[in-house]
Structure 1
């Protein structure tokens, strides 16, 4: 009878520093796992298993919704729907990239960093997709046709490029700190950790920018009659869930209070993933409602984004973000490899 031997798991004391997670003591995969072992770990309870599945399953759900909308849309002639298609496409990209990053991040030190470089790029691309949809369907009445509205997508492009670059740069600083390549000793490693903390902030800003725009301009600046519709409650829920996700991402709770108790189920990154997916689902419902309920007003009062504007924004971000990822990935290989001090028993 055919049997599959699942990979062995390790404790935090047996792992190199780069793989350590605060408050997570057990359930680590081998730091030089093969691609096959990484895939097999999807069906084994490790401290990464739910991180993978909480984004892999929603990817298929968002992909199904995207294909459904694509099927009923006249892509060539319905320019009003183009921003929605871009948004729904990017909402599929980031869960897939995240699940792949968590799946293959245990192959090596450099593979781990490169996986998360790609993850940051996907998350920030989703931020751009959200901004394009917000510009097309959600902008408050009072701000339509303003300079801010005209340059909103341009600002989102800059945000995406800069945020991806800063995220990758700060993770490179962490890698250098782990290797001790800038200065000797524990002090440098802690410096790398401090640099890495700024990456968290830049990544969260890249994700939260569209939500904060809606919060600031729709809830506090009287959005106008056309924007006061059933979507408003969804936007409020989206903002609240996004803030909750930010809290879990930064606070390392509950595992920080009870190390070892939440290694497999219930640690902060899993909760962060769940909140992010819920926020995207609620945001998608809000955008679909805005697109439908405000269509008549927007077609009369707003200038729709053209195909060159949309395609140019996406292509510009892809080129610069991939350029950043390739540059920082190459830089990783110029950092001396730290000794893998595994203490297997």
Structure 2
């Protein structure tokens, strides 16, 4: 009896150990299965495997991220997929415009480098205009002690009111901002016009306000950063995709709207009616575009051409103020110079909108441009090029208005 009991106990224990062993084996298999599923789940997938809200371009066939967790999404910025270049083309553009903004804030507010003033006496001597030199040195006793610029500035403020006879000699040599006459043909200092103007301008005048220029730079940075964020995060979930796309459209509208601030403000700063009219119109149009883009139906693929047309029409709204500027300032080289930049900017933006709407070149060879070279990447590059072209135009506006004023 005792032996039978021991045997039964041993058999029961053996069964128990076997069952536990089977449970452990099954648990191990289950753990491996979960790890394998996670590996498979967060692999890149093809277009036909995407949920409906991520299906936008049927000509890009593979390398999609689909409903990844945020941790994996943030790390994917350093991996290869069909959004990698979409993220980086505008992220690099954002840092470019951030650097330009810092540079502009540090360097551009001054019309010229005040250290160039130390060469002013030498220029006068080379001109052999003894009377002008004598009068200027009499009115400005700190002139021989260059580069004591602070003292020279104080001399200008205290002595200039009694020295208008000196400025009469320069009357026709300085830009319109300093002159009430227009007799440049009789000016004996015509060859020194730029030197004299650039040296005296900083001491007589404060630079023109910069807020329209910085508004444009802010709009550009917001657009580029919003676009990069949208392309990085939209694959997380339908809700986040909706939010990111609205942010992206708001960024595009902000860039287009603020792009008109510098040309409109600096062209019509002496005519407040037209300045406020044009600025108000483009601002209201930009806000309306953002509001329309909030509707979910706006994101459907069949509305792609409508989206492109809406933003393209915003760009066309700038034709009126540019033509008006050319009529008012057709004799000014700055007007032609800035218009050239603006036309080039329009070409870049127009090409970008065209490529975006037509989905060239991937529509010609579906699947061949999944990683690099598809339409959205080209659109991004053209947007950065257009924005930088507009930055160059803004510098011309600032220099023009700083020297001329109204």
TM-score by length of 1: 0.71
Tell me the residue number matched to 1:154: 280
Please name the residue that 1:267 is paired with.
Answer: 374
Among 36, 47, 60, the alignment partner of 2:82 is 47
Residues in 2 aligned to 1:156 and 1:174: alpha-carbon distance in whole angstroms: 21
Whole-Å Cα distance in 1 between the matches of residues 322 and 380 of structure 2?
22
Deviation at 1:174, TM superposition (A): 5.4
Matched, 1:124 2:253: yes
Shift of 1:271: 0.3
Paired position in structure 1 for 2:30: none
Point out the more displaced range, 6-15 or 45-54: 6-15
For the 8 Å contact 1:167–1:202, the answer to whether it is kept is: no
Residue pair 2:94, 2:225 contacting (<8 A) in 1 also = yes
Query: Which residue of structure 1 lines up, in the alignment, with residue 297 of structure 2?
Result: 173
Q: How big is the alpha-carbon RMSD for the aligned residues of Structure 1 and Structure 2? A: 2.6
Q: Which runs of 5+ in 2 are unaligned?
A: 1-38, 111-205
Contact 2:47 2:58 in 1 (8 A): no
What is aligned with 1:202? 310
Measured at CA, do residues 203 and 34 of structure 1 come closer, stay the same or move farther in structure 2, by a change above 3 Å?
Answer: farther
| Count of aligned pairs between the two proteins | 270
CA distance in structure 2 between the aligned counterparts of 1:26 and 1:272, rounded to whole angstroms:
20
Q: Which stretches of structure 1, 4 residues or more, deviate above 4 A after TM superposition?
A: 213-219
Larger % of helix: which?
A: 2
The alpha-carbon deviation at position 276 of structure 1 amounts to: 0.4
What are the residue-to-residue correspondences of 1:104-119 with 2, within 5 Å? Answer: 104-119=233-248
TM (normalized to structure 2)? 0.61
1:147 deviates by 4.5
Answering whether residue 34 of structure 2 is matched by residue 34 of structure 1, we say: no
Deviates more, 1:152-161 or 1:119-128: 119-128
Q: What is the aligned partner in structure 1 of residue 59 from structure 2? A: 23
- Partners of 1:214 and 1:53 lie apart in 2 by 34
- Distance, in Å, in 2 between the alignment partners of 1:210 and 1:137 is 17
CA contact (8 A) 2:312 2:350 kept: no
Q: Secondary structure of 1:80's partner? A: coil
Q: Distance in 2 between matches of 1:250 and 1:213?
A: 25
1:62 corresponds to? 97
More relative contact order in 1 or in 2 (CA 8 Å, sep 6+)? 1
Q: Which runs of 5+ in 1 are unaligned?
A: 176-191, 301-345
Report the equivalent of 2:331. Answer: 225
Deviations 1:34-79 (A, max 9, x none): 112111221111111100000001101100110121234669x856
Aligned to 2:189: none
Larger radius of gyration: 2
C-alpha distance 195-254 of structure 1, shift in aligned 2 (>3 A): closer
